[in-house]
Chain A
Amino acid sequence: AQSVTQLDSHVSVSEGTPVLLRCNYSSSYSPSLFWYVQHPNKGLQLLLKYTSAATLVKGINGFEAEFKKSETSFHLTKPSAHMSDAAEYFCVVSVGMDTGRRALTFGSGTRLQVQP
């Protein structure tokens, strides 16, 4: 079985300061991990994905995440928050070599608030 735990349901940062959204996973096999963002009344957008290549993954809009097997973590970071980053973020896992073939298992989500 696989699962994802997002450690913070809500994170608030000031514009221009770093962002850290935490995610831990549990999987019996080598996982593929994703971060998706959901803006209000909009569809889910893929930020980045890890699929057993480089452990430091760079995504869109300046986000990146590091896969740490020893810590079973896949935290999402950004050096400097922008107002437009305010949204709901989901850490997602898919198990097996056939990445994405199966449905995805979503974390509970972290709402990022960016203060001016």
Chain B
Amino acid sequence: GAVVSQHPSRVICKSGTSVKIECRSLDFQATTMFWYRQFPKKSLMLMATSNEGSKATYEQGVEKDKFLINHASLTLSTLTVTSAHPEDSSFYICSARVPSGGLLTYEQYFGPGTRLTVT
């Protein structure tokens, strides 16, 4: 199946600094990627939809100026957490959408996630 990677897998940063997380589709092109956030012992919550060559679509309550998303190529989307604070500490997961053969049918492949800790 399709492989999605994320880098870094873990990052610790100081409060007030910015952190960039990369999501790559390794053996396929993805026009659409999704960014999710997972709190400890909680489910995944969609943050935004990243479309190659256009602005990301953010979910209600997600600050687009704080969580900057760039999808500059068909294999790479980045999430930058700007001016990070301890409450931004979380597990961030991306997924890439792939046509799965049927009419208008897609499948989503998930990256392994990035654990962000802000001190």
Contacts and interface: CB of A to CB of B under 8 A. Distances in A.
Interface of A: 36, 41-46, 49, 51, 90, 97-101, 103-109
B102 interface: yes
Contacts, number: 58
Contact of A43 (B45, B105, B110): B110
A43 B43 contact: no
A97 B43 CA distance: 25
Nearest to A9: B41
18 contacts: A41-B112, A43-B93, A43-B113, A44-B93, A44-B95, A45-B110, A98-B106, A99-B102, A99-B104, A99-B105, A99-B106, A101-B106, A103-B36, A103-B46, A104-B34, A104-B108, A106-B36, A109-B43
A100 B110 contact: no
A76 B104 CA distance: 26
Point out which of B44, B46, B93, B97 has the most chain A C-beta atoms below 10 A from its C-beta: B44
